[in-house]
Chain A
Amino acid sequence: MSAIAKALPNLRPEEMEDPKEHLMHDPLPRGEMNRMVLESMHTTTWKYWTVVTILAFLVVTCLGYAWYYLIMQGLGVSGDNRPVYWGVFLVNFVYWIGISHSGTLTSAILRVLKIESRRPFTRVAELMTAFAIVNAGLSIFMHMGRVWLAYWLIPYPNERGIWPDFHSPLMWDFMAITTYLICSSLYLYLPLIPDLAMVRDRSKGWVKTFYKIFAIGFRGTEGEWKNLHLAMNIFAFAIIPVAFSVHTIVAWDFAMATRPGWSSSVLGPYFVAGALLSGVAAVPIVLFFVRSTMKNMKYFLRPEHFDTVGKMLLIISMGWAYFYFNDYIVPWYAGDKWEKILTLFIEAGPQAWLWYLMLFCNIVVPWSVLWRKKWRQTPWLMAIVGILINVGMYTERYIIVPEMSTINRMPFTWHIYIPRVEVILTIGTFALFLLLYFAASRILPLIPNWEVQEGQEGHILRKIGKAKIPTISQID
């Protein structure tokens, strides 16, 4: 009796949060939602065009001209040298492949698991996937010594009778990334078709022609929906193992080599965890900027979505730490001579600060912020956490690629690596990524409107006892 009385002053009716905070329980007329999405696409300010101009300039100079210079001069203008044959280009490659996991995870896994709060932000993440794979491919091409012969990796019949060698992990990589690029582009496109049809219905002139072509005559008949649904289901299930395989094979590029540090059997899953970490961490960054710079997006992208991403991020960060510790403790305990030297070099060598930065950004930051719901629901804080995790993951790849290859079994050849033209080209790839995203934000509807509407149709508040409880019914 007294115990209840004591508790009473703290007893608040919620716990009961306002269901209107959730997009799914805050429906608007569909016509209104379509108008809002169209308005967000059509609104451009001078700030937008300024940023686009700067990005375009960066792409032309830092990517276009610098790459031309690199190709004409040879890789001597990069920082690679004898032990460090793979430098920042490979770091970028691994990083962008990691970023590309954002779309797959948030979209495919959440779709398969039927996590309802995924609905408004799947496309924001899927777009990142498509553009990140483009950048990953570019990074590989920059890395190649004779990029003008890159087509030799394609298995096609030729008069020389020479085919690519499928013994090579790089060929697995080539096949995996091709598969991933094609499939994730289609996976981006499939749920886009009904939205393109929506835009088509509401545009005029040559713009309408553009959308008419890409909406491929979709109307929304029963058969079309059924086929679309089945195809999307196949994609959602099939693209998850493909994404895992892509990053596992990226890890195998390193793990198959007979080098201390790289030759590790846990590298595959460890890389997958790292890819998920940096990929999912990129989602709140993009969500934050889309939400705060584009019109009407505050209705669609809400704190609850940051909350969903934050929870995933915390779990993935723990998973990453688990795999990293696995990769760390086994060689450390075994005490192999070269592994010992390598560990010492990474933790106490001239670039040791990178190692501490990695541990701080990947473990300390997420673990100290993401456990609290209120912080997870603060968009700017989540964006900062996302940026820090991405810095940490970039550092992790830098440690794995150039730092680890500095130490090999021939001490005579040890050499510190200093990036040169790579820095400019890295800026170029980031500018290209942003430019593509900026362009896409005004060409494609960033919100999968029909999916949001489908979800809102199925969400109802059901009165149980004295409270209204959110319930979900599957209308499809």
Chain B
Amino acid sequence: MPKELKSPTSSANTAQDVQGIWGMVVDQDLCTGCQACVAACSMENNVPFVGEVDAGYGRSMQWIRIERFWQGSYPNIKATPYQPVMCQNCHNAPCEPVCPVYASVHSLSEDLNLQVYNRCVGTRYCANNCPYEARVFNWRDYMDPRQRPELVTLANHFNPDVTVRRRGVMEKCTFCIQRIRHAEDTAASENRDIRDGEVVPACAQACPASAITFGRIDDPTTKVSQAADTSRGSHLLEELGTIPHVTYLAGGA
């Protein structure tokens, strides 16, 4: 990873604000494309099912998707490694400044992109400006049992830590910010720092191959920092200078 494209260690206003910059490493050599992360993410974050028709039309709302391509023409085809894509939580996020109502703002202390659901008016400019197409839009009230009873299969199983979004709101992967907050609160009540590996997002938790590592990237001793620093690492669309916080490892196997 070129040094100049690394996140600055801190862009917080004051030293007290620094709570840790979070990052992720996805090892494409380990990923089996099993979609367990997709299912776990949907359960954790109350991501609605959109139904067959809408999903077929490109409206599926999963915050993480497994991309897979074929290279060459039949019959000489070769599959590319599976590529799970979620919000890259860019340091210079193109989605943020284009929102007219500050619904998409930056957390200075943690260097995360925040999406404020109840401020969103649904201009969808952020989604247009996201080069990773990581944002998803609530095209309908998918979570309203009156509208689509067959889709709301887990109505009584919502995660109480995460808002249920209604129609017309943009959303995206949050790095499971509710889990980060929970760990922070626990650590604060026990008067200690957050331990490495204490925060595990749903996708990483569910991954059977342990292809996803999560942790603080401002601390060089964490697992995620060490994993990111290998020669196999790269960022998606690095040339755009968005400085994403997700590093992909590939080509070493």
Contact = CB atoms under 8 A, between A and B. Distances in A.
A complexed with B: yes
Contacts of A257: 94, 98, 125, 128-129
A171 B237 CA distance: 28
B246 to A, nearest CB: 14
A442 interface: no
Interface string A146-164: 1101101100000000111
Interface in A394-429: 405, 408-413, 415
Interface in A162-202: 162-165, 167-171, 174
Contacts of A412: 65, 67-69, 85, 133
A144 B102 CA distance: 15
Given A165-B102, A256-B98, A144 B168 contact: yes
Looking at chain A's contact residues, is the secondary structure mostly helix, strand, loop, or mixed? loop
Contacts of B68: 412
A174 B99 CA distance: 12
Contacts of A150: 121
Nearest to A414: B58
Nearest to B54: A76
Interface stretch (B39-47, B136-144, B203-211, B226-234): B136-144
Contacts of B59: 76, 81-82
Contacts of A153: 100-101, 121
A22 interface: no
B58 A81 contact: yes
B195 interface: no
B57 interface: yes
A295 to B, nearest CB: 46
Interface string B76-117: 000000000100000000100111111000000000000000
Nearest to A163: B102
B132 interface: yes
Count chain A CB atoms within 10 A of each CB in B59, B120, B122, B131 and give the residue with the most.
B122
B235 interface: no
B119 A162 contact: yes
A153 B103 CA distance: 11
A93 to B, nearest CB: 12
Interface residues of B, number: 42
B104 to A, nearest CB: 9
A143 to B, nearest CB: 7
Contacts of A171: 100
A409 B131 contact: yes
A349 interface: no
Interface residues of A, number: 42
B181 interface: no
B182 interface: no
A322 to B, nearest CB: 28
B100 A83 contact: no
B101 A152 contact: yes
Contacts of A411: 69
Contacts of A146: 120-122, 167-169
B120 A415 contact: no
Contacts of B240: 258
B124 interface: yes
A85 interface: yes
A456 B88 CA distance: 68
Contact of A174 (B100, B119, B131): B100
B243 interface: no
Grouping DSSP codes into helix (H, G, I), strand (E, B) and loop, the B interface class, with mixed when no group exceeds half, is loop
Given A143-B123, A146-B121, A412-B65, A165 B133 contact: no
B97 A145 contact: no
Contact of B133 (A162, A174, A413): A413
Interface string B121-159: 111110111011100111111000000000000000000
Nearest to B105: A165
Contacts of A83: 58, 133
A168 B122 contact: no
A259 B240 CA distance: 10
B139 A74 contact: yes
A472 interface: no
A167 B97 contact: yes
B194 interface: no
A75 interface: yes
A339 interface: no
B83 to A, nearest CB: 8
B119 A152 contact: yes
Interface string A223-265: 0000000000000000000000000000001001111000000
Contacts of A76: 54, 59, 139-140, 167
Contacts of B99: 165, 168, 170
Nearest to A85: B124
B170 interface: yes
Contacts of A73: 140, 167
A72 to B, nearest CB: 9
B98 A169 contact: yes
Contact of A168 (B54, B67, B97, B237): B97
A85 B100 contact: no
Contact of A85 (B60, B119, B128, B168): B128
A85 B98 CA distance: 14
Contacts of A143: 123-124
A156 to B, nearest CB: 12
Contact of A75 (B101, B128, B129, B139): B139
Contacts of B121: 144-147, 149-150, 152-153
A150 B68 CA distance: 39
A163 to B, nearest CB: 8
A469 B28 CA distance: 83
Contacts of B137: 75, 80, 82, 85, 145
Contacts of B167: 73-76, 145-146
B132 A410 contact: yes
8 contacts: A74-B139, A76-B54, A76-B139, A82-B137, A145-B121, A165-B100, A170-B100, A405-B128
Give me the 4 closest cross-chain CB pairs, A-B, nearest first.
A145-B122, A145-B168, A74-B167, A415-B58
Given A145-B170, A147-B168, A415-B57, 12 more contacts: A75-B122, A81-B58, A82-B127, A144-B168, A149-B121, A153-B101, A170-B98, A171-B100, A257-B125, A257-B128, A258-B94, A412-B65
Interface of A: 73-76, 80-83, 85-86, 143-147, 149-150, 152-153, 162-165, 167-171, 174, 253, 256-259, 405, 408-413, 415
Interface of B: 54, 57-60, 65, 67-69, 85, 94, 97-102, 119-125, 127-129, 131-133, 136-141, 167-170, 237, 240
